[in-house]
Amino acid sequence: MKRLFIGLELPRVCQTELAEIDPHLASLRWLRAEQIHLTLVFLGAVAADGEERLRNALARVQVPPFVLAIQGVGAFGGGSPSVVWAGIGTAHPHLFALRKHLLEAVLHAGLEPDLRSFHPHITLGRAKGLSRSALQPFLRKFVGTEFGMWEVTEFALFSSVLSSEGSTYTTELRRVPSRAKP
C-alpha cells in the first residue's frame, strides 16, 4: 500500500524562494524546496488495485489552465501553531473546480478522500512547542509578500514516505487535465 495524495507542483523558483525564508526557529522544521507543494486531496494508504482505478479516473478530469498567486504567510494552530504556510492569493475559482473534479474521480475510483474543509495553502513548516509570539515577527515580515505566480497546467499524484527528517514525496503520475469543451 502507498500513502497517496493529489496536488500541484510549484515552479522550482517558487519552491526555492519559499524554502529560503526559513526563520530558523528551534521548534520549527522547515520543508526543503523539493517538498513544497499544494495538496488538493489527501487519500492516505491505498492498495495497488485502488491506485490503478484512481489513475484511470484521473485521466478523465477536465479543467482549463489557470493562474495562481502565492501571497503572504500564516499559521494554523492558534497560540501554539502546528503548521506555517504560504497563501494562495484570492484562490482562483478554477482551483476549487479542479479539487471538485479530483474528489469526484477519487470517489469514482471507490476510494475515500479526506473531506475536511479545504483551506488552500502551501505548507512551509511544521512546529512542535512553538509559541505564536515567537513566530509573530516572521508572520509580520511576510504577511503581504508576493512570492510569485504560476500557470497551473497539470496536477500530480504523489506518494509519501514519512520519516523523522520529514516526508519524501515521489511523483507517481503527472496529468494535464483535458480541456473542458465550451
pTM value? Answer: 0.90
The grid coordinates listed for 164 are 523523522
Q: Is the dihedral of CA 108, 110, 112, 113 positive or negative?
A: negative
- The yes-or-no verdict on residue 57 having pLDDT over 60 is yes
Mean pLDDT of 110-116: 89
pLDDT tens for 85-111 read 999 977 688 999 999 999 999 999 999
Q: Which residues, at least 6 apart from 134, have a Cβ–Cβ distance to it below 8 Å?
A: 25, 27
What is residue 167's predicted lDDT score, i.e. its pLDDT? 81
What is residue 182's predicted lDDT score, i.e. its pLDDT? 46
Domain 2-175 has CATH 3.90.1140.10: yes
pLDDT tens for 136-179 read 999 999 999 999 999 999 999 999 998 777 788 999 998 875 55
Q: What are residue 4's phi and psi, to 5 degrees?
A: -115, 150
Residues counted in the chain = 182
In 3D, which of 118, 4, 125 has the Cα closest to residue 54? Answer: 4
The grid coordinates listed for 79 are 497560540
Q: Which residues pair with 160 in a beta bridge?
A: 169
Mean pLDDT of 67-86: 94
